C-alpha cells in the first residue's frame, strides 16, 4: 500500500530538479550480509527448487568493491527429520554457497533451520515454505507515467480466499512488487507494473520476460517494502526516514554483532511473456 501512495510524491518530482552531488558518508562497523533466498516451483514437472546463499561484508556506500566472505559453514536443517543439508562455496573466494539438490524444500509442513558459522560466530534463521497464487494472465497495457519508454505489464492472479496472503512479484532485472491481499482477498486481482526508462531495461518487441510469483510471509513482506524503499533512494520528500533494514538472521554468538540479510523459502510460479509492439 505504501508504494502506491508514493506515486503522489512523483507529481512533486515533476516540478523539481535532481542532480548528483559529492558527499562524504560515514562508515559504520563492518557487519556480515547474508542473502539467502530459495524458491520451489511446485507446479512444474518435475518440481524444481532454486536458490543460493551469498555472504558479503558491509562497506562504505560509495565503495565499489564489496568484499565476499569465504570459508563459512552453511547448512539448512530439516527440523522434523533432522537431516542436514550442506551448502558448499561454488569456488574459493566467491562468497556464493550452493547445494546440488534443494528439492527437500518442497515440503509446506517442514521448518527449515538455516545456519552460517564463520570467524567464530554462529548466525541462524528459520523459514517455512510459503504458498503463492497462480498467475492467470499477463498482458500488455499502454499506460505511460514517466515517459514514452514506459512499458505496462498487466498481471492477473487468483488469490486464495482462505488465507491472508502476501506475495512478491519478480519482474526480472531486480525489479519487484510486493502485494498484500488485504483489499482483494479471495478475488482475481489485476495490477500493473511499469518498466521505465530509469530501470535501464530497454525491452524490445520479441523479448521474453519472466514474471515470478513468490509466496512470502508478513514479516518478509514488511522487510521487502522497506528494502525497496531504501534501494529506491529513501529520503525523498514524502518517504519515511530511512531506517536500518533488519532481516531475520540472528547472531547466536554475539547478539550485538548483528548481520544483515534474510533467509526465506517461497513457493514460486513463473510465467513467461513475449513483449509485443507497443
Q: Which three cell numbers stand for residue 72?
A: 563459512
Q: Does 88 bind other proteins (CB under 8 A)?
A: no
Nearer to other proteins, 73 or 240 (CB): 240
- CA 121 to chain CA mean position, Å: 25
Residues 115-144 that bind other proteins (CB under 8 A): 143-144
* Residue 261 CA: distances (Å) to CA of 57, 58, 165: 11, 11, 22
| Nearest residue to 190 via CA among 164, 158, 168, 216 | 158
Q: Which three cell numbers stand for residue 270?
A: 513463473
Q: How far apart are CA 243 and CA 221, in angstroms?
A: 16
Residues 96-115 that bind other proteins (CB under 8 A): none
| Nearest residue to 105 via CA among 140, 79, 134 | 79
Q: Which stretch in 43-51, 127-135, 187-195, 204-212 sits in contact with other proteins by CB under 8 A?
A: 187-195
Residues 223-252 that bind other proteins (CB under 8 A): 225-228, 230-248, 250
Contact between 180 and 97 under an 8 Å Cβ cutoff? The reply is: no
Residues 198-227 that bind other proteins (CB under 8 A): 198-200, 219, 222, 225-227
Q: How far apart are CA 14 and CA 8, in angstroms?
A: 11
Residues 249-268 that bind other proteins (CB under 8 A): 250, 255, 258, 260-262
CB of 155 vs other proteins, minimal distance in Å:
11
How many residues make contact with other proteins (CB under 8 A)?
A: 89
Q: How far apart are CA 119 and CA 141, in angstroms?
A: 51
Residues 156-185 that bind other proteins (CB under 8 A): 156, 159, 174, 176, 183-185
Residues 25-84 that bind other proteins (CB under 8 A): 25-28, 31, 33, 35, 37, 54, 56, 58-64, 66
Q: Does 7 bind other proteins (CB under 8 A)?
A: yes
Nearer to other proteins, 45 or 237 (CB): 237
Amino acid at each position: 500500500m505504501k508504494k502506491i501512495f508514493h506515486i503522489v510524491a512523483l507529481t512533486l518530482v515533476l516540478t523539481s530538479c535532481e542532480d548528483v552531488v559529492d558527499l562524504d558518508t560515514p562508515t559504520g562497523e563492518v557487519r556480515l550480509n547474508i542473502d539467502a533466498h530459495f524458491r520451489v516451483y511446485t507446479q512444474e514437472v518435475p518440481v524444481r527448487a532454486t536458490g543460493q546463499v551469498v555472504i558479503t561484508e558491509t562497506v562504505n556506500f560509495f565503495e565499489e568493491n564489496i568484499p565476499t566472505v569465504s570459508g563459512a559453514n552453511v547448512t539448512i536443517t530439516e527440523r522434523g527429520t533432522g537431516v542436514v543439508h550442506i551448502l558448499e562455496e561454488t569456488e574459493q573466494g566467491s562468497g556464493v554457497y550452493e547445494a546440488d539438490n534443494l528439492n527437500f524444500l518442497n515440503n509446506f509442513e517442514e521448518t527449515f533451520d538455516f545456519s552460517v558459522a564463520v570467524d567464530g560466530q554462529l548466525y541462524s534463521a528459520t523459514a517455512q515454505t510459503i504458498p503463492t497464487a497462480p498467475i492467470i494472465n499477463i498482458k500488455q497495457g499502454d499506460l505511460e507515467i514517466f515517459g514514452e519508454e514506459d512499458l505496462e505489464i498487466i498481471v492477473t492472479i487468483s488469490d486464495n480466499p482462505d488465507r491472508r496472503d502476501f506475495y512478491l512479484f519478480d519482474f526480472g532485472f531486480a525489479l519487484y512488487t510486493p502485494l498484500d491481499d488485504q483489499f482483494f482477498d479471495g478475488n482475481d486481482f489485476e495490477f500493473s507494473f511499469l518498466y521505465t526508462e530509469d530501470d535501464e531495461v530497454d525491452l524490445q518487441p520479441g523479448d521474453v520476460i519472466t514474471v515470478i510469483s513468490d509466496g512470502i510471509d508478513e514479516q518478509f513482506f514488511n522487510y521487502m517494502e522497506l528494502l525497496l524503499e531504501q534501494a529506491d533512494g529513501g529520503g525523498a520528500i514524502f518517504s519515511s526516514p530511512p531506517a536500518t533494514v533488519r532481516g531475520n538472521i540472528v547472531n547466536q554468538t554475539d547478539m550485538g554483532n548483528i548481520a544483515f540479510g534474510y533467509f526465506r523459502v517461497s513457493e514460486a510460479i513463473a510465467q513467461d511473456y513475449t513483449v509485443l509492439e507497443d
